[in-house]
Structure 1
Amino acid sequence: MGEDVAGGLLWYVVRNAPTFLAMFFLMLLAVRGRLRFSLKATVGMALGIVVAVSLACGIGVAAFAGEEGVWATVPVLAVSLLSLAALTKLPWGKRLFVFFSAATAAAIAILTYDVLLRTVALEWSFGVRRVLDAVVCSAGPLVLAPLFARTIRWGVEQVDDPALWRRLAAVPAGFFVAANALYMFAYAVEFLSSGANALYALAVGVLAFLMVASYLMLFSALRTVMENARLREAAQLEELQHERYENLRRTLRETAKARHDFRHQLLVIRSFAEKDDVRGLRAYLDEEGAGQAQRESGAYALNFALDSVAAHFAERARACGADVSLAFALPERLPLPEADFCMAMANLLENAVEACERAATEGAQGSGSARAGTDGRSALPDGARTLFMDAEVRVEGSAVLVSVRNNCSSTDARALAAAAPNGVLSSGARSAKREGDGIGLASVATMAKRYRGEVRVETDEHAATIRVLLRAGGAR
């Protein structure tokens, strides 16, 4: 009895462990950019997990299952999924997609061996069939290695919508169910003719083709969607730059006119001086100074694209009565890709402006317009909190630190607190804006994740602070 168990165990491990290793290898190809440990350590742990679970299942099959040993695959698959979760930093949607994709590749390889066994290898010797089994079932899944290493890995790295991945996981899960259903059907129904075997082979080939074709089409569509989104962001940034350029041109024209009129202003000042009209002179200077301050918007950043973004949202914030303070201590050449960083700042500042607008509306319902506060900032009627939008960006070592603080309504404060219960905003968080207003902070969280950073949220009843950490040169 002991020899039978030992022989069955050896037989199970030799036959199945290579297939499980190939499946794990495909999963690691797709997620190697999101591993919790080093690649070497992860490969070692994966190897140990596969060997251990193969031995455990082999003992169960040899001692108890007999011909029903096919069901031992279930705990192997369960352990593989849990191991993938333990070894990677991924949302469950991505884990399920990668897992079912690799499991389907292994299932199709097993189907391929079964087709070969029924059509060409049935009369071969036992040893030759075992070699064919080992080669097809272990090397077969590796044919799809480029699909996992390039296409699926690109999706894992670039697409960070958890809800989307949960829906996408149904695609490989469906193929996995279809492959297993086909295998069970083939053993439930006895094929008595070469034509039936040919149809079986055709079904396996069609299943494999549909899987690969579906993946290529799916990720091609995702690439198109992301490229269109990038082009829209580039167009928005270009529009802001054009707006800033026109404002600068207008300021230059006004400056030229002011220089032309300066001699006339000197005559007016001289006339006040000759009359010893100090009060009139002060009133005139205050009026001219206020008008000049109102006309000149100033520069917020050395980088023109970032300056354009800042100027646009600073103007919007001031239009709703908010006091604006922007401090961008960045060089003209940004430490991060210009388009990525500018769109992240646009999202942050747009959220801040709209939060101020909603706070102004909430605080001024049934009252008049904003008035000046005791601290110089604009204040809402009836003693409500002052309106403000403060933003600071600075570089510390290889990190870029962004801080945006602004008023927010109590509704927005609750929404932000719910989106970041532990203070860290995830890329899957819902926007605090009203429905239809875009993805806002979720987009910033996605970018922060790409640059090995994070987005932290602090809220109280009337204000919110968003702090973003990005690592220069750290895109993944």
Structure 2
Amino acid sequence: MESPLLYGLSLFIADTPWYVMACVPFLAEARLKKGAILLLGMGAGLLKAFAAGLTLALCSNWRDYSTPIYAAHTVLLLLFYLLAFRAHPAKLAYTLLLLQAAATTVNFSASAAVSLLYPGIQISAASTPAYTAAIAAEVCIAYPFVWRFFKGRLRAAFAELPSKSLWLLCLPPVLFLFLHQIFVTSIQKTGMPTSSISLLTLLVLATGLITYYINLRTLLDNARHMRQESEAETRLALQAADFEALTARIEMARAARHDLRHHINALRDFAARDDKEGMLRYLDEYTAGLPADEGPDWCENRVVNALLKHYLSQAARAGVRLDVKLDLPTGAGVPDTDLCVVFGNIFENAARSAAAAGDGAFLRARCESGESDLVLTVENSAGPAAHGEGLGLRNVEAAARRHGGAARFEEKDGVFYSRVLLQRVPPPAGG
């Protein structure tokens, strides 16, 4: 006998954990508090369970209403995630497709297990309590593995991959979803035993999940390889520019030393003739011929300092008021490549945005290097050149996570705030 209460309970147990799991990759982009998100996720599962149980209680042909209920609930679920998180649609689509495949795999494997224990019985969430218990048991087994994957590799993929790659990543799950529906509909018409249908369907779903993982891993490895190559090229270019500037300064110093004795002889002649006015005039002419100052050094780290000189000089020429104090030593405990990603992207965006803000624009930056961490805070006038959610800031977030830290960006009242925390690796003793 079909029970509305059992059916609703089965759906709640089968769906709600996955609704909560879908929040894991986006917790860093949450609009609401974690407690509110958890309650909304559980409420979404409870709403679907209540609607399905009520339909079963009121309608003899309740199965005809399952598809409209599923579609309406999916729309509400999407609205919930868009309300709770600042999630890119491609990220959200891939997460939900992946969880749909995982949940379906759990449900079919539970059905296959129960059908082996109860041969000849029609397995149903509305009439077989053992099926509900099997789903609960398999969710408990699978949940920690999926949680770890979502918190680790999937978050990393979302941080590394551009939007175009994310949409391409959604294609295999979409194709497998349609193939799975066609396969299930076709095989059910063959009259095969329920256990055989469940096992074959489970094989198809397992193949799909393996394909999703391989595809994600391949794209992520390619993205990381491209990023590392780009960072290496940037570092080499900065070092080359720094070397050229150093070589030029050495040549200037050599020329100055060569000419210094001539200037000393000229000054001695002015002094011997007691020609104070001529000496001052000569010094003024000599000072005017000296090369212009290249600007201050902003930190001890040479690679980052070369970046800052470039971007902050652009901001200064645009009239931006600078207030920059950075404690960043040469041995910062963070690889120079990652420091270039963090400081380069943040100061490039800050300088460009502040320069576009017009009169009164400012850029304020502080960097503090503690024993175990490094904190960078930047505030700047937000002009029409918006920072947005571009690839540069995503790379900063990825670099922060690689070093056990975090990055937060916010625009408020015409000011853009950037804050980055990085965990330092202390130098070896005696090093």
Q: Distance in 1 between matches of 2:28 and 2:70?
A: 28
Q: State how 1:30-429 maps to structure 2 within 5 Å.
A: 30-64=25-59, 65-68=61-64, 70-71=66-67, 72-115=69-112, 121-123=118-120, 130-140=128-138, 143=142, 145-150=144-149, 153-156=152-155, 159-160=158-159, 161-187=162-188, 189=189, 191-192=190-191, 198=196, 201-252=199-250, 254-255=252-253, 258-259=256-257, 261-275=259-273, 277=275, 280-294=278-292, 299-312=297-310, 328-333=324-329, 339-347=337-345, 392-395=364-367, 400-402=376-378, 416=385, 420=386, 425-428=387-390
CA gap of 1:127–1:457, structure 2 versus 1, over 3 A, is closer
CA contact (8 A) 1:426 1:445 kept: no
Quote the offset at 1:156 in angstroms.
3.3
The correspondence for 1:21, drawn from 16, 20, 24, is 16
- The runs of 5 or more residues in structure 1 that have no matched partner are 357-384, 407-412, 429-438, 460-465
2:86 partner SS: coil
Q: Distance in 2 between matches of 1:253 and 1:404?
A: 38
The Cα offsets for residues 80-131 of structure 1, whole Å up to 9 and x where unpaired, read as: 3333333333222222221222122222333334555667743359899935
CA gap of 1:339–1:403, structure 2 versus 1, over 3 A, is farther
Q: Distance in 1 between matches of 2:80 and 2:323?
A: 46
Quote the offset at 1:316 in angstroms.
8.5
Q: Distance in 1 between matches of 2:55 and 2:178?
A: 24
Q: Which TM-score applies when normalising by structure 2?
A: 0.72
Q: Distance in 2 between matches of 1:392 and 1:29?
A: 34
Residue 429 of structure 2 corresponds to: none
Q: Kindly provide the amino acid, as one letter, of the partner of residue 183 in structure 2.
A: L
CA contact (8 A) 2:298 2:305 kept: yes
- The runs of 5 or more residues in structure 2 that have no matched partner are 425-431
Quote the offset at 1:329 in angstroms.
1.0
The Cα offsets for residues 125-158 of structure 1, whole Å up to 9 and x where unpaired, read as: 9899935422443444553752453257533355
Quote the offset at 1:17 in angstroms.
1.6
CA contact (8 A) 1:448 1:454 kept: no
Residue 6 of structure 2 corresponds to: 11
Quote the offset at 1:236 in angstroms.
1.0
CA contact (8 A) 2:110 2:131 kept: yes
Q: Which one is further off, 162-171 or 196-205?
A: 196-205
Q: Which one is further off, 322-331 or 303-312?
A: 322-331
CA contact (8 A) 2:187 2:197 kept: no
CA contact (8 A) 1:26 1:145 kept: no
Q: Kindly provide the amino acid, as one letter, of the partner of residue 262 in structure 1.
A: L
Quote the offset at 1:271 in angstroms.
1.8
Q: Kindly provide the amino acid, as one letter, of the partner of residue 80 in structure 1.
A: L
Residue 427 of structure 2 corresponds to: none
Q: Which one is further off, 346-355 or 11-20?
A: 346-355
CA gap of 1:278–1:296, structure 2 versus 1, over 3 A, is farther
Quote the offset at 1:229 in angstroms.
0.8
CA gap of 1:96–1:323, structure 2 versus 1, over 3 A, is closer
Quote the offset at 1:233 in angstroms.
1.5
Q: Kindly provide the amino acid, as one letter, of the partner of residue 469 in structure 1.
A: S
CA gap of 1:26–1:139, structure 2 versus 1, over 3 A, is farther
2:241 partner SS: helix
Q: Kindly provide the amino acid, as one letter, of the partner of residue 470 in structure 1.
A: R
Q: Kindly provide the amino acid, as one letter, of the partner of residue 394 in structure 1.
A: R
Quote the offset at 1:19 in angstroms.
0.5
1:169 partner SS: helix
CA contact (8 A) 1:327 1:391 kept: yes
Q: Kindly provide the amino acid, as one letter, of the partner of residue 87 in structure 2.
A: L
Q: Which one is further off, 67-76 or 389-398?
A: 389-398
Aligned pair count? 407
2:300 partner SS: coil
Q: Distance in 2 between matches of 1:399 and 1:266?
A: 49
CA contact (8 A) 1:305 1:338 kept: yes
- The two structures, once aligned, show a CA RMSD in angstroms of 4.8
Q: Distance in 2 between matches of 1:302 and 1:441?
A: 24
Q: Distance in 2 between matches of 1:126 and 1:166?
A: 37
Quote the offset at 1:238 in angstroms.
3.8
CA contact (8 A) 1:326 1:392 kept: yes
CA gap of 1:294–1:323, structure 2 versus 1, over 3 A, is farther
CA contact (8 A) 1:16 1:54 kept: yes
CA gap of 1:447–1:403, structure 2 versus 1, over 3 A, is farther
Quote the offset at 1:240 in angstroms.
0.8
